[in-house]
Structure 1
């Protein structure tokens, strides 16, 4: 794989009804119902809405045998209404349910964390090597039974690992690491290979995008070493809803798609399931359009580790680079102004080109960037150079000197200047069809030359007021891999309005930049909500609850709150959250402080108030 040139990862084809996956097939899109699987008509209507939105597959939760058996009625009713696309059964905790479902639907998803191992209880378990081997033999014996049923009925499988539901057995041997997540998956894939069963797709999901991307990258490497080419399902679980859910999904999924990784995807939103489908299509279409781009002759830095990247070492220039969090640079090229509201953070710097506003119109605490030939040395302002004015940079007395630079402009003259002139920050530009590859190539060239100049990535778009969602998805996808690679010292988004259209508001541009950094866990500027998309297991009004909790806690900067519909991924997926709100039974909720359950089985009409009381009590005691 080249990190500079887009080439889809090769996988073998998996037969899933009339929608085969992998191989030379297009990216497949899917979603999941939120209705109870015993509700035939409700499930049929929701499946129809999802299929009408363009999905290739619909997944339904199957908690027990009764739900699994009802899949037959749902499938029959859909066929009567002219819908023949594949259905997928989602199974947790009970392998017998997977056996039943495999004889009915086209694909079954099982979770390695709870297929044979008991549900995660955060227990520390000690195994000798012999005892561990015995556990693997038990897993193989039970899993082989399911594989034989799948073979008999031409049913595909998804081995779906969730970071939040790794078994205690895996956790105690490998820890809460990408290596443990990958091994949880590989245990099952090795059995599939041994049994000659190839109709398998694989997924690794996490609410933490850093964990998700690193784990999938590592999985690809391990599969390659073991001569496996199973297709991959991509998703960020518990991404949330609204703009943050879209941005978080695009950051994680986009980072992998941009490297050619992924055969099917789901954008998991805490909204109506059919809403997920067009968002997924937009994201997939945007990334794959770079196929066939002109070759980028980049050279990978020897210090770079794709599977386990660390932040590139840079010399701090002011508050940029070094150990500083990535900065946000905004643009105001025509004296545009707006006032940030509702606690929205203001940019660290604003590029104004040739139109520096008066002091009374500037944002407090924000640095202003002006074109170098106009810079007069005013405090709080900084010059921006292009290669055309490069020779003037050594004489410039500014503490920070910004330099717009493309990969092709990074020649010996520029390198010599970067070695001798202090205080330079590069703003990396690209008009290449694959801008990610070219921007990566620029930083790796600096890295190979042992130049520690900080780099801010400049991402440019042309969108109008009605393109807000596209802007957020595209910018998040473009920045994803650059952030997870450890290359990002800052982000600069710039949007030009198309002719004849109203402009995209500046506050959207700036808020998107901060949200992208937060989605990648690089900089926290607001409350983070880790909320599941809901399914037939959800035990309360999820959308209404999310809205209430967000309205009451949005001002708590840096706080992480998990909002989970049921116990399947609840305590695990929100393990790094400060507080958790988890469905415990129909109409009952349990509250968590970190991983510890502090109050069980609260009626749902009291639970939000109880959560807020818990947060306020802790804050007053801190």
Structure 2
């Protein structure tokens, strides 16, 4: 991997029907149905909508052998209607269903956390080395016959590890950690390698983008060490819906794609499955256009490890840097008011203007007059005036290709400067990374705000592009603030909201309630979109609280491992409520469940009344 220059990781190629994956093939796009797999007509119609939207693969859940066997009817109906798109069976807890599906569809997903092991009990069990080795032998005994069936039918396996479904055995030795997720995968991969079975794809997911990115990077490192080069499926589980789901997916998936990692992606939105495809396509195309770009001559600082990024040391300039939360900078809106309040407003060449809030202002240096709470912005053209200007903060707009020894001297002598880092390179992340690493190598502790400028009238584009550009830098703990600009008709209020969303998705600054909601599948036990809307309507004012909304017990409580509270489908019309991983109340009638959730939050002291 070249940390500064975009180049896709070389992976082995696997055959998945008529659509091979990995190697030199394009990054594939996929989604998953949310209809019952026993309802052939509904699955066929939804699969067609997903395929017509541009999917390369369609995944369907198979809870049991009956569902797995009905995949044959679905596949035949699709082929009869002229759709040869490969199908993927999604299996949890049921090796017999996996074996049945492997004889029918082109790819089967199994979860190492529950293919052999029982469902998690969240008990702190202890294993001796001998007992642990016996567990591995038990996995081998169950996995090898399945590999043989897949070999006979040319079926690909996806090993799909999820953050919330690690086995108690893995938890006992590694805990609920990225290292545990990687080992859960590697145990199965080693058996596959010993059996010379290479038709494998891997996914290793989490709803927390920090955990997701670190885990995939660790997995790549572990595979490289053992000479494994299997293709990777990327996704942020339970990303949610609307702009939050798009931003969170763009941050997590986009960071890894920027690293050159990833051969197929699924954007998991709590919306209609076909809605996921255009989002995924935009994200892949946005990153892929960087291929073959002009070289960025960056140099990594000596102790850097991209699996263990460390926060860069900075000093404080007023409220920026040195442990302060990342700031949000916004251009002045035409209306002059903001739904969410940024920390700084850039007014450009306008004289200092009256704003009803106490937001600080940034003006171009040539019109700066020293008005309180107003600060000058310098460029390379007028940088000679920066030392002689009296201001608590002096902002300096800087690109990597402008950095020279004079800049180093200036930053060493002036502790009141904040860099505004921007890039016009087609790979802006790589160039801004190079700037940060130069600062670190030269022991420059000047805070940096990252600025990206776009030109679009499409709000979804901004959510995806912004998440994919700011995400990789923030997840590597680079940057003390962000500034999104757009030359289009999108209101400044929206850009500000997206910036706060990006900071929340990277866990850098929490400004609202976070919802961890599954995308839905054939196992979902309630109307997911309507339920999410009801829960959000009741709880969206609870800043910083994480609420999981899961359609079934497979996705909860395990998949909402990061949530404070959980709302989980227990049966048709019945809901179970969780506090962290503990089930508090089971089988609540759905019509009472939101009120019961509010009661649970109140009982634990996390409720505040909504301000008028």
Report the Cα offset of residue 7 of structure 1. Answer: 0.5
Question: Which aligned pairs between 1:144-543 and structure 2 lie closer than 5 A?
Answer: 144-332=144-332, 336-341=334-339, 345-359=340-354, 362-464=355-457, 467-497=458-488, 503-543=489-529
Does the residue aligned with 2:395 lie in a helix, a strand or coil? Answer: strand
User: Which whole-Å CA distance do the structure 1 matches of 2:448 and 2:370 have between them?
Assistant: 23
Report the Cα offset of residue 339 of structure 1. Answer: 2.6
Could you give the per-residue CA deviations for residues 25-61 of structure 1, whole angstroms, max 9, x where no partner exists? 1110000000111111111111111111110111000
User: Which whole-Å CA distance do the structure 1 matches of 2:558 and 2:302 have between them?
Assistant: 35
Question: Which aligned pairs between 1:551-590 and structure 2 lie closer than 5 A?
Answer: 551-590=537-576
Report the Cα offset of residue 338 of structure 1. Answer: 3.9
Report the Cα offset of residue 615 of structure 1. Answer: 2.0
User: Which whole-Å CA distance do the structure 2 matches of 1:267 and 1:576 have between them?
Assistant: 19
Q: State whether residues 11 and 229 of structure 1, in contact with CA within 8 Å, keep that contact through their aligned partners in structure 2.
A: yes
Q: State whether residues 352 and 369 of structure 1, in contact with CA within 8 Å, keep that contact through their aligned partners in structure 2.
A: yes
Moved over 4 A (4+): none
**TM-score after normalising by structure 2:** 0.98
Residue 4 of structure 1 is matched in structure 2 by 4
Q: State whether residues 455 and 490 of structure 1, in contact with CA within 8 Å, keep that contact through their aligned partners in structure 2.
A: yes
Report the Cα offset of residue 509 of structure 1. Answer: 1.1
Q: State whether residues 162 and 569 of structure 1, in contact with CA within 8 Å, keep that contact through their aligned partners in structure 2.
A: no
Residue 500 of structure 1 is matched in structure 2 by none
Question: Which aligned pairs between 1:35-184 and structure 2 lie closer than 5 A?
Answer: 35-184=35-184
Could you give the per-residue CA deviations for residues 424-456 of structure 1, whole angstroms, max 9, x where no partner exists? 111001101111100000000000001111111
Could you give the per-residue CA deviations for residues 102-146 of structure 1, whole angstroms, max 9, x where no partner exists? 001000000011011111111111111111011011101111111
User: Which whole-Å CA distance do the structure 2 matches of 1:123 and 1:396 have between them?
Assistant: 62
Could you give the per-residue CA deviations for residues 344-392 of structure 1, whole angstroms, max 9, x where no partner exists? x211001111113433xx1423110011121111111011111222222
User: Which whole-Å CA distance do the structure 2 matches of 1:408 and 1:15 have between them?
Assistant: 44
User: Which whole-Å CA distance do the structure 2 matches of 1:597 and 1:140 have between them?
Assistant: 33
Could you give the per-residue CA deviations for residues 126-184 of structure 1, whole angstroms, max 9, x where no partner exists? 11111101101110111111100000000000000000111111111011211111111
User: Which whole-Å CA distance do the structure 2 matches of 1:275 and 1:390 have between them?
Assistant: 48
Unaligned regions of 5+ residues in structure 1, if any?
A: 498-502
- Greater shift after overlay, 364-373 or 543-552? 364-373
User: Which whole-Å CA distance do the structure 2 matches of 1:472 and 1:602 have between them?
Assistant: 37
What is the aligned-residue RMSD (CA, Å)? 1.2
Report the Cα offset of residue 551 of structure 1. Answer: 1.0
Q: State whether residues 160 and 204 of structure 2, in contact with CA within 8 Å, keep that contact through their aligned partners in structure 1.
A: yes
User: Which whole-Å CA distance do the structure 2 matches of 1:125 and 1:96 have between them?
Assistant: 27
- Greater shift after overlay, 285-294 or 563-572? 563-572
Residues 1:371 and 1:44: Cα distance change in structure 2 (over 3 Å): same
Report the Cα offset of residue 303 of structure 1. Answer: 3.1
Does the residue aligned with 1:243 lie in a helix, a strand or coil? Answer: helix
Size of the aligned set, in residue pairs, is 608
**TM-score after normalising by structure 1:** 0.96
User: Which whole-Å CA distance do the structure 2 matches of 1:450 and 1:140 have between them?
Assistant: 51
1:593 pairs with 576, 579, 583, which one? 579
Does the residue aligned with 2:425 lie in a helix, a strand or coil? Answer: coil
Does the residue aligned with 1:130 lie in a helix, a strand or coil? Answer: helix
